[in-house]
Amino acid sequence: MGLNTTLHFIACRDCGELHPIPDTGAALLEDVDDGANDGDPYKEFLIGHQTHHVASFQRSGSECCADRPLWDPMATLTFEVTDGDRSYVVTATRRSIEDERVYRFAPGVLDAMGNAEVQVDPRDVRRGLARPPALRPMKIDRFLSAVQEVVSQIDPNELVTTFDDANDPAVSVAGMPDGTYNELLARCNDIFDPSDLPRVVTFLSDNRDADGLLALRVRRHTTTLRG
């Protein structure tokens, strides 16, 4: 089951472990007997903790952190859940690709956007502006400096991201806001010669969206605040 579709969990407070509930029709603790697990990890969890203090948890927020790309089955996942009264941070790990993930939880919250920064990939910009007829490298350097300065002033909390980077789980991608775009247009007048301006303006217009070379990369430096 994909983590993004897993919203509900059964938790054992005695062991500090929890397990995703596969679907809304999944068996409850009182409905499972010792011989009915059939190798089902969820039922095995219920049986293993049937004499413990269990509770229902659910996902809190959409933030999910990983130490590898999310498509990697060995990625360690970190996200937040709640029992309705308190928040907990869950860490999901597995020893090998054949093993199921083990979910452990502890009181706390995730703080991601408070430690976020907005970036533009300079390699993409250079590649786009270096196409014939190439602009002078000095002009490109000045333009990149202007891009980095203007982008650094963006509040990441105000950006609406479009998608996450499949290869970097800490990065989400957004288009360039109108204010940033207009500021860059104004600075281009001081950087480029009149003969180069039409090309640069076209480059800005064509690449300001989330799938363009000037896409904004919102990098989250997530920290766990223990409660």
Instruction: Tell me, yes or no, whether 62 and 123 share the same domain.
Output: no
Instruction: Tell me, yes or no, whether 98 and 8 share the same domain.
Output: yes
74 and 82 Cβ atoms separated by less than 8 Å: no
Cα 162 to Cα 145: distance, rounded to the nearest angstrom: 25
DSSP state of 175: P
For 7-62, the pLDDT digits (tens) are: 899 999 999 999 999 875 555 555 555 555 567 888 899 999 999 999 999 998 77
Give how far Cα 116 sits from Cα of 27, 120, 123, Å: 40, 14, 21
DSSP state of 224: E
For 179-205, the pLDDT digits (tens) are: 999 999 999 999 999 999 999 999 999
Identify which of 184, 117, 125 has the alpha carbon closest to the alpha carbon of residue 154.
Answer: 117
For 157-168, the pLDDT digits (tens) are: 899 999 989 888
Instruction: Tell me, yes or no, whether 20 and 59 share the same domain.
Output: yes
For 107-145, the pLDDT digits (tens) are: 998 876 567 899 999 999 999 998 887 789 999 999 999
Cα 20 to Cα 41: distance, rounded to the nearest angstrom: 10
Cα 77 to Cα 60: distance, rounded to the nearest angstrom: 14
What is the pTM for the complete model shown?
0.68
Domain that holds residue 78: 3-111
Please say which residue of 58, 91, 111 terminates a domain.
111
- pLDDT for res 35: 53
- pLDDT for res 2: 46
69 is a domain residue: yes
| 3-class DSSP assignment, residue 97 | coil
227 is a domain residue: no
